Amino acid sequence: MMQHLLLSASILAVLVGCQTTSDTVRFPAPAWATNSPAAITARVFRLIGEGPFPAVIVLHGCGGVDGHHTGWAETLVSWGYVAMVVDSFGARGFQSVCTSVSAVTPRTRGYDIAGASEYLQSQPYVLKGELGLIGFSHGGWTIMKAVQSNNKLENQGVKAAIAYYPYCDPVDDVDVDLPLLVLIGAEDDWTPADRCRRLQASPALRNASQVEMIFYPGAYHAFDRPIPVQDMLGQGEGGTTATRRIGYNPSAARDAVRQTEDFLKKHLKSPP
């Protein structure tokens, strides 16, 4: 919790004297998307004034959008990015899918990435072709599927992606075609870290030099959320619903923030 408070204080210090805004927006699914609602809701956070700025699309976990994701958006704005938090569940009639994780699939959420990218790049305050992705848990799983070469994310302006504690598939996630950073707790029993280790070690992994993975010792699922370590019910590997351990790990969270900032600086044009 102290790390969360310190991070919030640092964000406020950066934003003092800077005008910021957040707006609720709606964007249509791309024309080629199947079985998608007419429009998806999102919140856009940004600085007011000079631009255009690179932008980052934030993808929530299985519990839907909450303060964790808007807090991350505020952090991204403090670094000079536009941040869009996409609600992939509301328009589809869901609040949470933690015990039925395929109720909204990564493929479906990939349509949201395409729609969000198109919307952002139509805005005058966004730097075209300079988009990043950050996804958490179910959103991280979405990223692992979205970065596969068949989705051609670069054609949508996406240049880099960060997956926090995603579900990795060491067989089907090997065709990565843009820079990817995976941040996961070594003790994660919901989206097991070993699956990501096997993916990283696979000789079939395409562009392996672009795939970075960091495994945090002693950290569980949702290690960057400022909540006590606790158990919750969730569906995981093999479709099994069981008790999963989640909770905050201060040292892992602190390093993950630094890694995220550095990765975005490396792969997106610097904010003005």
Structure tokens at 147: 């970065």
Check residue 270 and give its pLDDT: 77
Statement: residue 5 has pLDDT above 80: no
Tally Cβ neighbours within 10 Å of residue 47: 20
Structure tokens at 244: 């999963």
Check residue 231 and give its pLDDT: 98
Check residue 26 and give its pLDDT: 96
Check residue 271 and give its pLDDT: 66
Q: How far is CA 223 from CA 68, 217, 259, in A?
A: 12, 11, 14
158: β partners: 131
Mean pLDDT value across the chain: 92
pLDDT tens, residue by residue, 75-95: 999 999 999 999 999 999 999
> 């990015």: which residue's tokens?
81
- Alpha carbons 83 and 97: distance in angstroms, whole number: 24
Check residue 228 and give its pLDDT: 98
Check residue 272 and give its pLDDT: 64
